[in-house]
Chains A and B, each alone.
Chain A
Amino acid sequence: MRIEISANKLRSDFVKKVEEISGETLPSCYQCGKCSAGCPMSFAMDLLPNQIIRLVQLGQEDDIAKSKTIWTCASCLTCAVRCPRGVDLSKIMEALRLITLRKNTDYVEPSKIEGDTIVELPQIALVSSFRKFTA
């Protein structure tokens, strides 16, 4: 993959926004890959969790936007408790989701969920999905 790295991208508004929303220090990550090794959803991700944080470090907003990884994360916090550098990647994933959701773009559309499914699912499934994936 060919990417452009420039001073503008490294300190772009996007990077600053991720840091502000997540409260995490992005350069702390040294790419050991522990987060991806333990991630229970990595089998379904197009970019691994450690690749996501690397792309954020490098300001590659477009590559992240093309990926489904942030919408595949289940916020199980396994990465957060195992990171040897104390980076809470779950907060970075949340910040990335919110950057999209705050533009009033839903990932899950409640009105499109079938009636039977709604009746079947426990309330915590619906509430947590809407909390995570709707604006």
Chain B
Amino acid sequence: MNLSYYPGCTLKTKSKNLEDSAIASMAALGIDLVELPRWNCCGTVYSLADDDLVHHLAPIRNLIRAKEEGSNKVVTLCSFCYNIMKRANLLIKNDAEKRNTLNSFMDEEEDYEGEVEVVHLLEILRDEIGWEGIAEKVKLPLYGLKVAPYYGCTLLRPQEAAIDSVERPTILKQLIQATGAEAVDFPFTTECCGSFQIVSNPDFVLDRAWNILSSALRWGAEALVLSCPLCDFNLGQRQKELGKKYREFKEIPILYFTQLLALSLGLDPEVCRFELNYVDPRPLLESKGLLRH
């Protein structure tokens, strides 16, 4: 089965580890992620202003590209891309007045009414393959690996874009369990990492990272698993600095959910591109005997 796939900017630069491990895992599960031949940056953040329509054009143009390919569904890996495309799609589907304005603004494209469904890859794993379907294909169960699921914001908020329960999600936990690893619940699982404040207020984000990571460590996690490249950066890249600020801090690797999946499916660890992770997870995986191939 083929699925139209929208990568977004960060997956082509900083987060090749997310893209490569996703494409390889899905191929092993019988789904080919086919990149849209033409796409643009989604704009990353959904406009929260009622009178601002121009910023909805970027995500909607991507959906039109998917429609032009004859797809009725487009899958995203990045949580930010997922959120803005999902919400812009709901807007153009449900608000006739804004739909007309947006369509009349776009000259080259055919009118669009929200026909393409926006899904995150985690939804494909849960709804189309199923946790049992994944568990059946697991060749290297990740026994003994204690992983905390970290959702962040954009997979769960607002309600209309949530892929799971807003306050008590289980989708990542169930994936972790399907791979044979042990899921570690912790109180900060849906809390914001500080997001784009990393640019203007990096110290605030450092404090967020401390709260989130030290909580995960306290609850016994050996690694964190997530889907958002910005969370990955905010929680991963500055752990050295965290160690300087908080002496008791111990580094903890951050993994993309697709890396966990690829490993459990018995794929060559090369597809995980672990060298791109901010905290190298290989010593941990090695110590659990999970890097054999």
- Chain A residues near B2: list those with CB within 8 A: none
Q: How many contacts A-B (CB < 8 Å)?
A: 131
Determine, out of B141-149, B175-183, B192-200, B261-269, the stretch whose residues face the partner at the interface: B192-200
Report the Cα distance A127→B43, complex, angstroms.
7
Report the Cα distance A124→B10, complex, angstroms.
6
Contact A126 B199 (CB under 8 A): yes
Please classify how large the interface on chain B is, using the bins under 10, 10 to 19, 20 to 34, 35 or more.
Answer: 35 or more
* Chain B: minimal CB distance from A48 (Å): 15
- Chain A residues near B201: list those with CB within 8 A: 44, 72
Of B9, B48, B159, B207, the contact of A90 (CB 8 Å cutoff): B48
Chain A: interface secondary structure?
helix
Q: B166 at interface (Cβ–Cβ under 8 A)?
A: yes
Contact B192 A80 (CB under 8 A): no
Determine, out of B26-34, B130-138, B229-237, the stretch whose residues face the partner at the interface: B229-237
Report the Cα distance A123→B229, complex, angstroms.
9
Report the Cα distance A123→B41, complex, angstroms.
10
CB nearest to A90 among chain B residues: B48
Contact B200 A107 (CB under 8 A): yes
* Chain B: minimal CB distance from A108 (Å): 5
Contact B14 A44 (CB under 8 A): no
Q: B13 at interface (Cβ–Cβ under 8 A)?
A: yes
Q: What is B's interface to A at a CB cutoff of 8 Å?
A: 8-10, 13-15, 41, 43-45, 47-52, 55, 78, 80, 153, 156-159, 166-167, 191-192, 194-201, 204, 207-208, 229-230, 232-233, 237
Q: What is A's interface to B at a CB cutoff of 8 Å?
A: 20-23, 40-41, 43-44, 71-72, 74-78, 80-81, 88, 90-91, 93-95, 98, 107-108, 113, 117, 120-129, 131-133
6 pairs from A and B in contact (CB 8 Å cutoff): A76-B195, A108-B199, A122-B230, A125-B196, A128-B80, A129-B200
